[in-house]
Amino acid sequence: MIRSVIRGSGSALPKRRVTNAELAEQVDTSDDWIVERTGIRARHIAGDDETTSSLAIEAARKALDAAGIEPESIGLIVLATATPDQTFPATATKVQAALGCNGGVAFDVAAVCTGFLYALATADSLLRTGMAKRALVIGAETFSRILDWEDRTTCVLFGDGAGALVLEAEEVAEDGPGIIASRLHADGAHNELLYVDGGPSTTGTVGKLRMKGREVFRHAVVNLSSVLNEVLEEAGVSSDEIDWVVPHQANARILDATARKLNLPVEKIVVTVDQHANTSAASVPLAFDTAWRDGRIKPGDLVMFEAMGGGFTWGASLARM
């Protein structure tokens, strides 16, 4: 069968690292509150010379280097972001131009924190239909630009960054590597729980992020447990066969609650929320890259990716390395 095999991974973070203590000098918050309620200790914040595309390009270059693949052979770039450089053109086309892989397909997907899962499933489908042989799947964000830095209920939660995977369509055996199963969902009835209060067609401004955190939290645990079970069922795999879960990094308590619901030991969950905070579409590939480069995720491992975000949108993918 043809599967999309993960050939390489890369990530990028802005130079400036901001601790909770530094934020507590700007808004009425404390390191204790942030650590206890979220597990976050620090985040990276983009400087004036750093953009969603510059972070995406750095992550993509590292992923291509790791895969040993020339940029010219990439026929598809799917980039997930809610903070593009400009309303258009797609940030994916900026990555394409910088890498010199012109001529293929390049577009952005907008599914906020679930964006990387949407991008991964879309690229996987296109690779399996033969649209391209090799793809870059990127999650890249500069959420610091859409935060209300006077709103302590949101500004302490997010960070900037990017992560990228190189996928290649390959003929593999049933128990071979590649993306095995994916499930995506959206429920627009919950738009008002997590949104940006601006946009080109409404206010003509970029707007700022608004979130009813407690309600998002409640939905997140229910939706994630349910989509994880769907993917396990489709793949015919039980939760104890999973080697690693690479979740969206919104809140350490969501990670713990989801793991408990699935009877997964917490040691199998890759956690980077403490160092990166919530980087929206970048969080899953950033976390994957961390565990892949430090040797925790190895060839042959079964890895579950999952995320939930604004819309609501949510999804999961199971891959063998």
Q: Residue 285: which of 148, 145, 51, 113 has the closest Cα?
A: 113
What is the rounded CA–CA span in Å between residue 16 and residue 78?
27
Backbone Cα Rg of the chain: 18
Nearest residue to ligand UT7 by CB is 213
CB of 308 to ligand UT7, least distance (A): 6
Binding site for ligand UT7 (CB under 6 A): 29, 33, 37-38, 113, 152-153, 156-157, 213-214, 216-217, 220, 250-251, 254, 278, 308-309
Q: Which of 154, 143, 80, 147 is nearest to 111 (CA)?
A: 80
**In terms of CB distance, is 74 or 80 closer to ligand UT7?**
80
Cα 320-72-4 angle, rounded to 5 deg: 15
Supply the minimum distance, in Å, between the C-beta of residue 76 and ligand UT7. Answer: 26
Residue 128: alpha-carbon gap to chain centroid: 22
Which CB, 166 or 209, lies closer to ligand UT7? Answer: 209
Give least dist CB 199 to ligand UT7, A. Answer: 18
Rounded distance between C-alpha atoms, residue 78 and residue 74, angstroms:
11
Contact 164, 145 (CB under 8 A): no
Query: For ligand UT7, which is the closer residue by CB, 88 or 149?
Result: 149
Instruction: State in angstroms the smallest separation of the CB of 80 from ligand UT7.
Output: 13
Minimum distance from residue 49 beta carbon to ligand UT7 (Å): 26
User: What is the rounded distance in angstroms from the CA atom of residue 166 to the CA atom of residue 43?
Assistant: 25
Q: Between 216 and 235, name the residue whose CB sits nearer to ligand UT7.
A: 216
As a whole number of angstroms, the distance between CA 276 and CA 161 comes to 8
DSSP codes of every residue in 207-227: --EEE-HHHHHHHHHHHHHHH
Q: Give the nearer residue to ligand UT7 in terms of CB position, either 28 or 174.
A: 28
Q: How far is the CB of 156 from ligand UT7 (least distance, A)?
A: 4
Active site residues: 113, 248, 278
Phi, psi of 206 (to 5 degrees): -75, -40
Integer Cα distance of 74 and 275 in angstroms: 31
Nearer Cβ to ligand UT7, position 107 or 217?
217
Question: Helix or strand or coil: residue 79?
Answer: strand
d(CA 55, CA 83): 12
